[in-house]
Structure 1
Amino acid sequence: TVFRVEIERAHMEEDAGKLTHMGGATGRIQGADFSLVDYNRSGVPLVEIVTKPIEGAGSRAPELAKAYVAAIREIVKNLGVSDAKMERGNVRCDANVSLRPYGQKKFGTRTETKNVNSLRAVENAVRFEIQRHAAVLDSGVLITQETRHWHEDTKSTTSGRPKSDADDYRYFPEPDLVPIVTTAEWVEELRSRLPEPPAERRKRLQADWGYTDLEFRDVVNAGLLDEIEETVTAGATAAAARKWWMGEIARRAKLADVDPAALGVTPAVVVEIEKLIASGAINDKLARQVLDGVLDGEGTPAEVVEKRGLAVVSDDGALQAAIDQALAAQPDVAEKIRGGKVQAVGAIVGGVMKATRGQADAGRVRELILKTLGVEG
């Protein structure tokens, strides 16, 4: 489904500063003991883009809101306007929601949830407000037009302050700023300097990486296109980059309830872990423990391997000792293997892997087991 999002206006303003709320559990104004005011950011230019009401999304409104903010983030990053990292406040979203009965043309009373700072939070905030509006209206109470504060910990919003419509702000043209008249030639000259459009970039990356339509769609929907591209550029294969970002990193981010990009894993970390796997220093199971160490602040992947003693056991002498012990513990399985049931070797391999804390080369272990039992692989 394609939705058209029309722009009401885009205007420039200046950042008024930054508030840091101290005390409390969430770092937000609710529950804080006091707030610090940082004026160092005052005067930093901001571009505010206001959309026209987006109608007809229905139950897909939360998903659409997330997709729209992701598209804006991709555009501004592509243009070099901003790093576009929402967790750093480079891109912020004020999400407006209103409900109306089917068939009614007049919009319902809206609320505005301020400064939502992640794609996941945008989706969750819109979903919560839709459900809250519906419950309030079903109870026969009117919606209060106001700003709302999003709480990441409880996945809910609370009331902020009453909010007027734009007309009530008494906006008027700045009398000391004259209109800027542009020529068609200048506009075309600027357009010719623009970088690769996001849609064309996505087509190029999918072709370069060899992802299926489904794989690429999942990457885009997860908001991980930039992270995977940076990881591939840093030296990983496209398959490995997708495996890590869409797999283990995404899983951990979900458990931590943050976007994968905000978890703290960099493309360089993924590349280094992949190099350790390719060199045989660690296996996939150990790689997950290496990632644990990196996220715990224990250093680079190589430093984590050394500190935790996670290197793969490749010394045949040490492996043989573990194999002999496993065979002695499971003589019935050993007899089955000698009798031709080679698939039973998995049980012995499992015993060796357990004894070596998963640090053995499973392929080499299998070879040595069969050799020890005099069985052809």
Structure 2
Amino acid sequence: MLDLTLTPPTPKVIQGATGDWELVIGLEVHAQVASNAKLFSGASTRFGSEPNSNVAFVDAAMPGMLPVINEFCVAQAVRTGLGLKAAINLRSAFDRKNYFYPDLPQGYQISQLYHPIVGEGEVIVDMAPGVGRRVRIERIHLEQDAGKSIHDMDPTMSFVDLNRTGVALMEIVSRPDIRGPEEAAAYVVKLRQILRYLGTCDGNMQNGNLRADVNVSVCKPGDYERFIETGDFGHLGTRCEIKNMNSMRFIQAAIDVEARRQIAILEDGGQIVQETRLYDPDKGETRSMRSKEEAHDYRYFPDPDLLPLEIEQAWVDDIAASMPELPDTKKARFVRDMGLSEYDAGVLTAEVENADYFEAVAGGREGKTAANWVINELFGRLNKEGLTIATSPVSAVQLGGVIDLIASGAISGKIAKDLFEILWAEGGDPAAIVEARGMKQVTDLGAIEAVVDKIIAENPAQVEKARANPKLAGWFVGQVLKATGGKANPAAVNELVARKLAP
């Protein structure tokens, strides 16, 4: 692992009319389990299907239909818990959370309130190079998603799509350890990264596969420290929950807006009402959705159709043995074994696909050279074209071939960039392209020397200037490279020009 300094939280301080206020934030992240089937049925979870086409009888709450637990979803939750260094509960149980809404055909949601499958864990959030913050995880529980209400197809009617009904979710609940908007976004970024490395959630926020409910409260300086000492939540102020945030930018904006709203109310002598709110990015405000319910309002009780879930430690150990290398470990290996800077290693490990691509390019090659080509040339071009690693026209094998040609002296760095452009536009084998198009670097010192002598002879005035100011020798190097179509070995050209121009 990298040498990481874990720092205490630095609260975001907002100056109000009567003094300073601090933010306290906790997040409930809903991560859709990466599974082809739902939590309690065999119906497909494929996104974008025709409305109500991925619905089993149990999803639609048909009479007499009983839920059957999906073992793979349980394994995914266990894998997630292990990835977050959390306690795995060998015995957990499902409860019914009772409420009525058109997109919930059963009239209840199957969840885990009293006995979740995963207990306490942690996420180390990257705040700066070499600096991290520990955010404690309180629990992870499995639950089924609800359907989707659609209001924009006909202004006089509302529709319900049950395709999402019963899809497995992991609700990852943090402690109120987050103290500012930027830290909240960084936490979600790191959590998403870990889930994607684990393969337990694809992290697609646009499709709603990862979304966060953000709990925000404000307190006076010193109150948070008193909460840490006593465990008394009364020191933190009344919280409001902002539902279904699916954008890092909106998470930050919503927290700031909501905190300032609460401060204005408190400074005006009012009280904060515990409630669920929605963020309107167009108006830059949060607005009330409903009063915040407590557990007893949902009349939780054990689901009578599902026995307690009991798993064996040996099964957990098998999952632990199959765990992939996680981002922090991979980043440390890139720094330690490949000589990369922490920044470059962070860029390369930000997405698991990027890290896999880089490792394929770097295999058996000089790490820094591979990193420079992947970050500067490939990532730069992908960003410019709006593409991803998955849609890159240049494969890892092709880019590795370009680096091999540079290392062998067959081509120069300049020719390599021209070759990269050909590969981007046309594809093909790098070595074959170089051979077929006569792109090989000229290394014949005699041939290069003849060109140097010719250019020196044709430019006597420039020779005198260069001998008076050696920095001007670069002009001759450029002329030689131009005359040879960029094929002359740059090191040989520099050495010959320096020798020829020596007084």
- TM-score of Structure 1 vs Structure 2, range by shorter chain: 0.5 to 0.7
Mark the CA change 1:207 to 1:248 in structure 2 (over 3 Å): closer, same or farther: closer
Mark the CA change 1:366 to 1:194 in structure 2 (over 3 Å): closer, same or farther: closer
| Pair 1:275-2:407 in alignment | no
- Give the distance between the partners of 2:166 and 2:492, measured in 1 at CA: 60
- Give the distance between the partners of 2:348 and 2:479, measured in 1 at CA: 38
Mark the CA change 1:233 to 1:115 in structure 2 (over 3 Å): closer, same or farther: same
| Pair 1:6-2:137 in alignment | yes
Q: Which residue of 2 aligns with 1:311?
A: 439
Q: Report the secondary structure of 1:175's partner residue.
A: coil
Letter in 2 for 1:231: F
Q: Which residue of 2 aligns with 1:231?
A: 358
Instruction: Work out the number of aligned pairs and report it.
Output: 336
- Give the distance between the partners of 2:433 and 2:208, measured in 1 at CA: 35
Mark the CA change 1:171 to 1:70 in structure 2 (over 3 Å): closer, same or farther: farther
Letter in 1 for 2:193: A
The answer on whether the counterparts of 1:111 and 1:147 sit within 8 Å (CA) in structure 2 is yes
The answer on whether the counterparts of 1:10 and 1:48 sit within 8 Å (CA) in structure 2 is yes
Q: Which residue of 2 aligns with 1:111?
A: 242
Alpha-carbon deviations, 1:290-340, whole Å to 9, x = none?
445555x43257399669969355276985686467536643332356x59
* 1:271 Cα deviation after fit: 1.5
Q: Report the secondary structure of 1:3's partner residue.
A: strand
Q: Which runs of 5+ in 2 are unaligned?
A: 1-5, 7-132, 153-159, 224-234
Q: Which residue of 2 aligns with 1:350?
A: 478
Mark the CA change 1:343 to 1:263 in structure 2 (over 3 Å): closer, same or farther: farther
The answer on whether the counterparts of 2:195 and 2:203 sit within 8 Å (CA) in structure 1 is no
The answer on whether the counterparts of 2:242 and 2:279 sit within 8 Å (CA) in structure 1 is yes
* 1:255 Cα deviation after fit: 5.7
Q: Report the secondary structure of 2:349's partner residue.
A: coil
- Give the distance between the partners of 2:205 and 2:427, measured in 1 at CA: 23
Q: Report the secondary structure of 2:214's partner residue.
A: strand
* 1:346 Cα deviation after fit: 1.9
Mark the CA change 1:164 to 1:191 in structure 2 (over 3 Å): closer, same or farther: farther
Alpha-carbon deviations, 1:327-362, whole Å to 9, x = none?
36643332356x597664322112333556655431
Mark the CA change 1:175 to 1:326 in structure 2 (over 3 Å): closer, same or farther: farther
Q: Which has the higher contact order (CA 8 A, sep 6+)?
A: 2
Letter in 2 for 1:52: S
* 1:134 Cα deviation after fit: 4.8
When structure 1 is superposed on structure 2, of 350-359 and 312-321 the one drifting more is 312-321
Choose from 126, 129, 133 the match for 2:251.
126
Q: Report the secondary structure of 2:476's partner residue.
A: helix
Matches within 5 A, 1:10-89: 10-13=141-144, 46-58=168-180, 59-74=182-197, 76-77=198-199, 81=200, 84=202, 86=204
* 1:70 Cα deviation after fit: 1.9
- Give the distance between the partners of 2:428 and 2:501, measured in 1 at CA: 43
- Give the distance between the partners of 1:291 and 1:228, measured in 2 at CA: 20
* 1:249 Cα deviation after fit: 4.1
Letter in 2 for 1:63: A
The answer on whether the counterparts of 2:334 and 2:345 sit within 8 Å (CA) in structure 1 is no
Q: Which residue of 2 aligns with 1:211?
A: 339
The answer on whether the counterparts of 1:99 and 1:109 sit within 8 Å (CA) in structure 2 is yes
Q: Which residue of 2 aligns with 1:298?
A: 426
Matches within 5 A, 1:164-183: 173-183=302-312
- Give the distance between the partners of 1:48 and 1:187, measured in 2 at CA: 20
Q: Which residue of 1 aligns with 2:492?
A: 364
* 1:6 Cα deviation after fit: 1.1
Q: Report the secondary structure of 2:135's partner residue.
A: coil
Greater helix fraction, Structure 1 or Structure 2: 1
Letter in 1 for 2:240: T
Mark the CA change 1:148 to 1:301 in structure 2 (over 3 Å): closer, same or farther: farther
Instruction: Give the TM-score normalised by the residue count of structure 2.
Output: 0.50
Q: Which residue of 1 aligns with 2:214?
A: 96
Mark the CA change 1:315 to 1:307 in structure 2 (over 3 Å): closer, same or farther: closer
Mark the CA change 1:88 to 1:96 in structure 2 (over 3 Å): closer, same or farther: closer
* 1:11 Cα deviation after fit: 1.1
Mark the CA change 1:222 to 1:108 in structure 2 (over 3 Å): closer, same or farther: farther
The answer on whether the counterparts of 1:69 and 1:93 sit within 8 Å (CA) in structure 2 is no
When structure 1 is superposed on structure 2, of 224-233 and 199-208 the one drifting more is 199-208
- RMSD between aligned residues: 5.2
Letter in 1 for 2:399: V
Alpha-carbon deviations, 1:269-289, whole Å to 9, x = none?
432331232243443344445
Greater strand fraction, Structure 1 or Structure 2: 2
- Give the distance between the partners of 1:282 and 1:15, measured in 2 at CA: 58
Instruction: Give the TM-score normalised by the residue count of structure 1.
Output: 0.63
- Give the distance between the partners of 1:325 and 1:146, measured in 2 at CA: 77
- Give the distance between the partners of 2:390 and 2:183, measured in 1 at CA: 25
The answer on whether the counterparts of 1:145 and 1:163 sit within 8 Å (CA) in structure 2 is yes
- Give the distance between the partners of 1:362 and 1:138, measured in 2 at CA: 64
The answer on whether the counterparts of 1:113 and 1:150 sit within 8 Å (CA) in structure 2 is no
Mark the CA change 1:228 to 1:190 in structure 2 (over 3 Å): closer, same or farther: closer
- Give the distance between the partners of 1:38 and 1:321, measured in 2 at CA: 77
Alpha-carbon deviations, 1:127-178, whole Å to 9, x = none?
3333443565577699994455889xxxx98989947757577765433111
